[in-house]
Structure 1
């Protein structure tokens, strides 16, 4: 029987310029859907898990289109609540070489931003769940979304459901009068597994590796330097059993190095390092890592190294796929873990 994983957050309509066109050049935009927790749910559904995505959506045709996209990939949406007026949107301009990608949000007053505690019956949603996942994007949307997320975490803790979070700091989202530093600690306190990148821990909690400049990686990232980040996070949040850091070395917009490290029980595990030379789409890269990590931790029990390697390999493959969703299978990820990155035609 497959494991039941519940994720909670916002899914948006994604409108992207074709290829590497700038906004001012585009005569049309490509439409897909995406959002941190939905991306994780799609990954897990592809791996054969019972993935259930919870959000709030309006009753209109755009919301129905969104739900049909999730259903296409096997994600269950039975616990989506309906109400509000709009589905959030984000616009994407994909960068190239020295020009960075750009994201413009149009998500104010979306249905999920106007969620309040009590709208979602978390006791029912989390009954029989094996995992609950949220990201720092959700509490950034509004006080109501932060409160609903905290409500879910508390119910998960009460029911003994493991909780994971991706810190996912987005400075452009915290607009309702509270900072991430004020809101996030109460939510992260209830988490068993914490994921972040080299900037999240510093931007949200002021925790940083000693003697390392997170702004200028130059493509070289030494995982061992982040052990201090993990130990500081665990000291601050004693419930956490595992802290994971994703390490992206940005050589340019099309060429990154990618690896991860996992700290648990006083030991730091470091993954293989991938050299991703021709990125197709890096949006959703961290979510694909999280989806792979959850699958790995639930499948390769007591083998943190293998779970970490699965997460990094899955995310490496995501960089080759257009859109937010990581549309890969377990055998494809495991082949890359074994070293088959040749890209030869499978016949």
Structure 2
């Protein structure tokens, strides 16, 4: 039976400068689409799962193009609702070596920011659903988006649907009068699978790890055990806490691994990948989440294999332009099995 995963959040028009050009150099932008939850939905569709993306879009040609783009990758848009005046936009300048990438948002008053509880028929959305995914970006957009997200989580809990969250703290988005610490705990309380790093845990949940100095340049997987244990103690519904381990040597070279804690065992990915020539790191965390959801659903009971799949999938995402991770299960499993040669397949 095909497993249906529902993702809810905002999708935006992405306008990026060509190559490594700076904003003030470029006379043109490359137009694609992306957003945390939509990126996860595309990953899952690529892996052959039934993937449903839910959002609110305006009735205009840009939004129509966006919806067609999602359909092209196999994502269901049947439960998108319409209203509002505009699609959010973000501008991307890709960094190189010691110059980091930059993002400028133009998403104020977007259609999904004006959503309200009661606008989406969650009973219909969750028909035959196995999994619901949200991120901390959505409740940061507006009170209405936070209310709609909480409504979805409660309905998913009622129906016995697994709920996952990427905490994704974005300080520049919390502008409507409430902090992440005021809004997020109630939503996290209804969540079964939590992805987040030590900064997310501190800024979103007020949970701080013991003896972890992330500025030291050397952070072991075991250092994250304390924060995972604290999250599970504070939020007893939570069954797994996962953290990506990114070492940023420079804008083009990152190390990449991950850890998963299930309440008893701290699993560390079998491989730590050296991504030496990054094409596009935007969406890296979303590709990890997509890989993790696929792994947990497909390799049921084998958390180690699910974690390994997520890390390999997100490693490959760094080689793909755009927000979406356009790779197949076969490509991910090939890397999992140790083939990182990148040889031509013919």
TM-score range, shorter chain: over 0.9
Superposition deviation, residue 123 in structure 1: 1.0
Distance (Å, rounded) in 1 between the aligned partners of 2:100 and 2:118: 41
SS at match of 2:53: strand
Q: SS of the residue aligned with 2:129?
A: coil
Give runs of aligned pairs for residues 1-347 of structure 1, distance below 5 A.
1-214=1-214, 216=215, 218=217, 220-271=218-269, 272-347=271-346
How big is the shift at 1:203? 1.7
- SS of the aligned residue for 1:92 comes to strand
Q: Give, in angstroms, the shift of residue 197 of structure 1.
A: 2.2
SS in 2 for 1:278: coil
Give SS of 2:236's match: coil
Cα displacement string for residues 73-97 of structure 1 (whole angstroms, at most 9, x for unaligned residues): 0000000000000000000011111
Structure 1 unaligned residues grouped into runs of 5+: none
**What TM-score, normalized by structure 2, do the two folds share?**
0.98
Q: CA deviation at 1:297?
A: 0.2
Which secondary structure state, in structure 2, belongs to the residue aligned with residue 13 of structure 1? Answer: strand
User: Which secondary structure does the structure 2 equivalent of 1:172 belong to?
Assistant: helix
Shift of 1:45: 0.1
Return the TM-score normalized by structure 1. 0.98
Is the 1:166–1:196 Cα contact (8 Å) retained in structure 2?
A: yes
Return the offset for 1:209.
Answer: 2.5
The CA deviation at 1:247 is 1.0
How far is 1:217 from its partner? 5.5
Q: Which moved further from structure 2: 131-140 or 266-275? A: 266-275
Q: Distance in 1 between matches of 2:256 and 2:210?
A: 21
Shift of 1:265: 3.1
SS at match of 1:130: strand
Residue 208 (structure 1) shift: 2.7
| 1:208 alignment partner, SS class | coil
2:133 match: secondary structure = strand
In 2, distance between residues paired with 1:208 and 1:257? 24
CA RMSD of aligned residues (A): 0.8
Partners of 2:10 and 2:284 lie apart in 1 by: 17
Q: What is the CA distance between 1:69 and its match in structure 2? A: 0.4
Q: Deviations over 1:284-316 (max 9, x none)?
A: 000000000000000000000000000000000
Give the secondary-structure state (helix, strand or coil) at the position aligned to 1:64. Answer: helix
Deviation digits for residues 84-117 of structure 1, max 9, x if unmatched? 0000000001111111111110000000000000
3-state DSSP of counterpart to 1:209: coil
Q: Is the 8 A contact 2:294 2:306 kept in 1?
A: yes
Distance 1:200 1:102, change over 3 A: same
Contact residue 213 and residue 219 of structure 2 kept, 8 A: no
Inter-partner Cα distance in structure 1 for 2:216 and 2:4: 37
